[in-house]
Structure 1
Amino acid sequence: MTNDLIVVGAGPAGCAAALMAASLGQHVTVIEPGRVGGKLHEIGALENVPGAWETGPALAQSVAADLARIQKAGRCDLIQERAVSVAGHDDRAEVALTDGQVLAASAVVVATGVAPLTTGTCDWITAPADLELPPLWRARPEELQGRTYVLGADRPLGTWLRSHPDASRRLHVVYPPADHYKTDEVRHDDRVRLNRVDHVTVTRERYGQGYEVVVEGPEWSRTYAVDTLLGNLGSRPAALEGLVQKAGGYCPSEEQHPRVLTAGDVRSARFQRIVTAQGSGAEAALSRYYTAQAPASANASMAVRKEALRMSRDLVAMIDVEGMR
């Protein structure tokens, strides 16, 4: 077993874990099927990340350079493959990949992030089974035609508005009560019309390319003809098989095997932000490092105590001998 640590996922949390472990002299293997930086590539504008970063792709490029640096130093390997499961054992942790490989290390940090929700997985939406909405974050202002509706008020709404300050198209955002707290950052933007609803029904128009959207409240219902329909539904933890999942599908580290740690937004919703995700990744690697050092420290302390006891006994014996003379 040549790996001290395996990190699954090369987003903000995973890269922070890899960098922290490498800085402690550990050898790390990072498993990432996509681009290093993960969803950073999808963020058009940054406002709350220290370091004067203005866009996600710029930060992703820097993070990728950091990972390349520790690869060049021989402290990290990058495997471009998808992980399917994780398991902890008394003497190791293992990660199984889609190609059949099983990698082992002293510990594993799982930082697989989240996967997007779909209309089929949201109980407040009824829509055709084959409906795949283009995501809001990918939409360009010039592509929005006619009456534009957005399903869901997840965080990318504010990011999109900041990324396109000159966009004039009004966005009609319909969202469930659970998303209400997320609307605070966009509530005063004149380009957004917020509609809190209990249920939405979407059907394709029989003729043309648009949609019919029926929105319902506690005691009311309205029907709209919509030209452009976008998804902004939020996400769910992308948990690997073998992880213990709790409320909302999240996988807290304290619920896992001692050799399996989680980081970023697969661990908790509070680590969805870039900075908190990075912190959780670094903390996971650091805590495992200290845990691994604890037995050695305990053994060293025991050896010192044994030596002190031996010296004490020798001293007592010498005193007894002197007393007999």
Structure 2
Amino acid sequence: MNHGLFDAGLLVVGAGPAGVPAAVMASSLRMTTIVVEAVAVGSKVAAIGALENVPGRWTTGAALADALASDLARHQAAGRVTVLTGRAVQVAGHDGRAEAALDDGQVLTAGAVVVATGAATLSVEDAAWIEAPVDLMTPPLWRTAPEQLADRHVVVLGSDRPLGTWLWAHPDTATHLDVLYPAGDAYKTDEVSDEARGRLDLVERVAVAAIPGDRFRITAYHPAGGSHTFTTDQVLSNMGSKPAALDGLVVAADGYCPPELQHPRVLVAGDLKGARLIAVTMGDGSRSGLLPYFEAQTLPTGQAGRPVGSQIARHNLTISDLALTVRAVPICPIRHEATG
């Protein structure tokens, strides 16, 4: 396999619902692709218990993760995709290439890079309404198995959507969840308001502290005034998520990474752009894998009339969230395998 000047035609960071479709799309267009994944293909989505809003007959996140892994394996077998286990820490775009730096010091190069690192779970230190020591560990609800909560009193901080997903995915668990949530989460509670295994408690703020015996003391302050203090066996986080942006990306005030602010060789996909349903994320990933190839084919000539088929043809690329337009930044076309 000849990658020319680069390690691959396209780098994809993250092998989830955005990254795998990006790699599959690029490979189907005969672009050589390296996928960098820190854990395993679909590792985040695999922990989702129920998938009621994703078409394709996926009923669990594990089933979808298996399908993503199978799709990627098919393109690996064709020799156009390489999956590299490693943790990318930084991406960069240059006039002639894109780079992804890994935590082991390795630097990969390609014509473009798609960053599809998804979202990271918010911790208690990210939530202004929660007072807690910085070292307090609160596992996320969506990654917690019912067996871990058996015979324990459980408090959940936040009423983000995984609350309903977790309850629906484990209909036989008798675990009762006491859910403390701020006013900003109120609109998310309708779908679980009739769930007998959960008690919803609107709070203004919450103070959490670890106490001897592997227990927790919680003080809940109510919007109308007053508070109550109690102890519990387990505290789980369910405050939502934030974009898992890498160094080198341009991050807006809301934490997301607007595509139009990135270097033309650096594309962002999925939850890095904004909170997205899984089905939307998959489509966005496919689109991100298509754009570099499309750009390499769109202009009949490069700048100053140089043919696009030359070794270093130079032309222009802008990728926005909605359209592909021309911009005065010269870059090289993406290398891909010959089909004949």
TM (normalized to structure 2)? Answer: 0.83
Letter of the structure 1 residue corresponding to residue 137 of structure 2: E
Tell me the equivalent position of 1:4: 9
Deviates more, 1:231-240 or 1:104-113: 231-240
Preserved contact between residue 145 and residue 228 of structure 1 (Cα < 8 Å): no
- The yes-or-no answer on 1:257 pairing with 2:257 is no
Q: Cα distance, 1:150 vs. partner? A: 0.4
Q: Does 1:154 align with 2:160?
A: yes
Q: Which amino acid aligns with 1:238?
A: A
Q: Partners of 1:138 and 1:234 in 2: how far apart? A: 13
Match of 1:140 among 145, 153, 159: 145
Cα distance per residue 1:228-265 (max 9 Å; x no partner): 32221222211111100013211121211111110111
1:288 CA drift (Å)? 2.5
Moved over 6 A (4+): none
**Structure 2, unpaired ranges of 5+:** 1-5, 307-340
2:205 is matched by which residue type in structure 1? H
Q: Deviations over 1:16-47 (max 9, x none)?
A: 10001111111111001111113121011111
Question: 2:76 maps to which residue?
Answer: 71
1:26 aligns with 2:31: yes
Query: What letter matches 1:139 in structure 2?
Result: T
What amino acid is aligned across from residue 31 of structure 1 in structure 2? V
**SS state at 1:133 partner:** coil
Q: In 2, distance between residues paired with 1:82 and 1:116?
A: 18
Range 135-144 or range 122-131, more displaced: 135-144
2:190 matched residue in structure 1 = 184
Q: AA paired with 1:79?
A: L
SS in 2 for 1:90: coil
Judged with a 3 Å threshold, the aligned counterparts in structure 2 of structure 1 residues 299 and 241 are, in CA distance, closer, same or farther, namely: closer
Q: TM-score, normalised by structure 1?
A: 0.86
Aligned partners of 1:47, 1:223: CA distance in 2, in Å? Answer: 37
Choose from 167, 173, 181 the match for 2:173. 167
Aligned with residue 132 of structure 2, among 112, 127, 130 = 127
1:246 aligns with 2:249: no
- RMSD over aligned CA atoms reads 2.0
% same residue = 52
Matched, 1:197 2:203: yes
| Structure 2 counterpart of 1:286, from 290, 298, 313 | 290
Shift of 1:227: 2.7
2:239 matched to which residue of 1?
A: 233
8 Å contact from structure 1 (residues 127, 203) kept in 2: yes
Which amino acid in the other structure matches residue 252 of structure 2? K
Q: Hey, what does 2:220 align to over in structure 1?
A: 215
CA distance in 1, matches of 2:197, 2:267: 42
Matches within 5 A, 1:27-42: 27-42=32-47
Instruction: Tell me how far apart the structure 2 counterparts of residues 205 and 33 of structure 1 sit (CA, whole Å).
Output: 35
Aligned to 2:114: 109
Give 1 or 2 for the bigger CA radius of gyration.
1
CA contact (8 A) 2:13 2:37 kept: yes
How many residues matched? 299
In the alignment, the residues of structure 1 paired with residue 193 and residue 296 of structure 2 have an alpha-carbon distance, to the nearest angstrom, of 48
Between 190-199 and 76-85, report the one with greater CA deviation: 190-199
What stretches of structure 1 of length at least 5 have no aligned partner?
Answer: 304-325
| 1:122 Cα deviation from its structure 2 partner | 1.9
Higher helix share: 1
Question: Are the aligned partners of 1:145 and 1:227 in contact in 2 as well (CA < 8 Å)?
Answer: no
For 1:9 and 1:162, locate their aligned partners in 2 and report how far apart those are by CA, in whole Å: 28
Quote the offset at 1:184 in angstroms: 2.8
Are the counterparts in 2 of residues 12 and 38 from structure 1 also a CA contact under 8 Å?
Answer: no
1:35-50 equivalent positions in 2, closer than 5 A: 35-50=40-55
Greater shift after overlay, 94-103 or 223-232?
A: 223-232
For each residue in 1:56-78, what CA deviation from the matched residue of structure 2 results, as whole angstroms up to 9, or x when unmatched? Answer: 11211111111111111011111
Change beyond 3 A, Cα 1:193–1:107 = same
Measured after TM superposition, the shift of residue 294 of structure 1 is: 2.1
- Residues 136 and 210 of structure 2 are in contact (CA less than 8 Å); yes or no, is this contact kept in structure 1? no
Residue 17 (structure 1) aligns with? 22
Q: 1:161 to 1:18 in 2, by over 3 A?
A: same
